[in-house]
């Protein structure tokens, strides 16, 4: 066989292989798996509990359901607005009935309340209950270096607090409550410092190290209550309300667009000790890689995670 004949035989064989292969390959317009083609967007704010819950739910969506989950950080007021406008699909950080009650009044008719994902929350003004280094004379009892128990005692001790009350982002519901408390309890000589959660915690840590008087906006669940001895100041006028809940809020239409995702969000429930554990893991790593810590929690709590999974017949 001459060289030219061999060339055309090779070309014919290559053409047949190409045509045969094209019959067995997946056509380019074949849609991917339905779950893999979906993306859900969850809004959260830069609070320890919100970071923890958002990353946990993201881990469950991606590792258990194969649904991509994007987290979008924003302020508390923007979270509510974004869900109401359909800019994001859901949020997991609606503090009700008190702290975010005004947001529910404004946006409640334009969102879907899936109910509480955590119960037993509390907000208020918080001080360290850290003992001084020596025993009180003759009593054998350690005394706390901050000696007040109620918000009503703050005006008489304003100088010890350096006339400062350390808060967080101005849009947060607890800041609105704190402004009401300042008016109700006559704290006009205090300055409410607007900062961030991390800045507030840094100020608290420094004051505890130096045993200086400090009062901050505080809430539970929060990892700081596991790190230090802290106490809520009594609130006889109930400005901050009683025990509350954190709700999951979804956009209208999510049930039709992503029914499996909606069922997972609806099933999501955990306990204060659960979120405190995850928050501590995240904080112990200086807030880095919260998704990795959420994966760790998922693997350590398979029964709880299984209870959230959508049922085939639901």
Alpha helices in 64-163 (DSSP H): 76-85, 101-107
What the block records as the tokens of 171 is: 């849009």
Q: Are 269 and 185 a contacting pair, CB within 8 Å?
A: no
CATH architecture of the domain with residue range 39-121+243-308: 3-Layer(aba) Sandwich (3.40)
Please indicate whether the domains covering 39-121+243-308 and 123-232 agree at the CATH topology level. yes
53-94 pLDDT per residue, tens: 999 999 999 999 999 999 999 999 999 999 999 999 999 999
Radius of gyration of the chain measured on its C-alpha atoms: 27
Helix (H, G, I), strand (E, B) or coil at 139: coil
Residue 7 has pLDDT above 80, yes or no: no
Give the confidence band of 133 by pLDDT, cuts at 50, 70, 90.
Answer: low
pLDDT at 9 over 60: no
- Cα separation, 166 vs 188, in Å, equals 14
- What would the mean pLDDT of 96-100 be, rounded to a whole number? 93
User: Does domain 123-232 sit in CATH 3.40.190.100?
Assistant: yes
The H-assigned helical ranges of 61-211 are 76-85, 101-107, 173-184, 197-210
Q: Is 154 helix (H, G, I), strand (E, B) or coil?
A: coil
Helix (H/G/I), strand (E/B), else coil: 90: strand
* Domain residue ranges in the chain: 39-121+243-308, 123-232
Q: Which residues pair with 218 in a beta bridge?
A: 124
Report whether 233 contacts 185 (CB < 8 A): no
């Amino acid at each position: 066989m001459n060289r030219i004949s061999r060339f055309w035989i090779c070309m014919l064989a290559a053409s047949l292989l190409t045509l045969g292969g094209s019959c067995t390959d997946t056509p380019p317009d074949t849609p991917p798996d339905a779950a893999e083609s979906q993306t859900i967007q969850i809004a959260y704010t830069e609070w320890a509990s919100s970071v923890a819950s958002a990353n946990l739910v993201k881990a469950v969506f991606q590792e258990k359901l194969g649904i991509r989950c994007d987290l979008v950080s924003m302020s508390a007021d923007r979270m509510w607005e974004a869900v109401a406008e359909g800019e994001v699909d859901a949020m997991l950080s609606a503090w009700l009935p008190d702290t975010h009650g005004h947001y529910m009044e404004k946006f409640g008719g334009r969102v879907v309340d899936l109910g509480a994902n955590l119960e037993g929350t509390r907000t208020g003004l918080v001080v360290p209950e850290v003992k001084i280094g020596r025993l009180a004379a003759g009593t054998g009892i350690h005394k706390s270096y901050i000696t007040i128990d109620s918000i009503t005692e703050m005006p008489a001790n304003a100088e010890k607090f350096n006339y400062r009350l350390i808060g967080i982002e101005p849009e947060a519901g607890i800041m609105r409550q704190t402004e009401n408390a300042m008016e109700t309890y006559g704290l006009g000589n205090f300055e409410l410092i607007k900062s961030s959660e991390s800045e507030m915690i840094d100020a608290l840590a420094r004051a505890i190290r130096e045993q200086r008087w400090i009062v901050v906006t505080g809430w539970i669940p929060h990892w700081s209550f596991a790190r230090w001895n802290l106490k809520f100041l009594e609130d006889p006028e109930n400005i901050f309300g009683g025990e509350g809940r954190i709700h999951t809020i979804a956009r209208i239409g999510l049930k039709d667009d992503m029914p499996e995702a909606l069922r997972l969000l609806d099933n999501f429930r955990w306990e204060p000790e659960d979120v405190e554990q995850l928050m501590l893991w995240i904080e112990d790593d200086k807030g880095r890689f919260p998704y990795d810590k959420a994966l760790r929690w998922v693997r350590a709590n398979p029964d709880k995670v299984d209870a959230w999974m959508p049922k085939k017949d639901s």
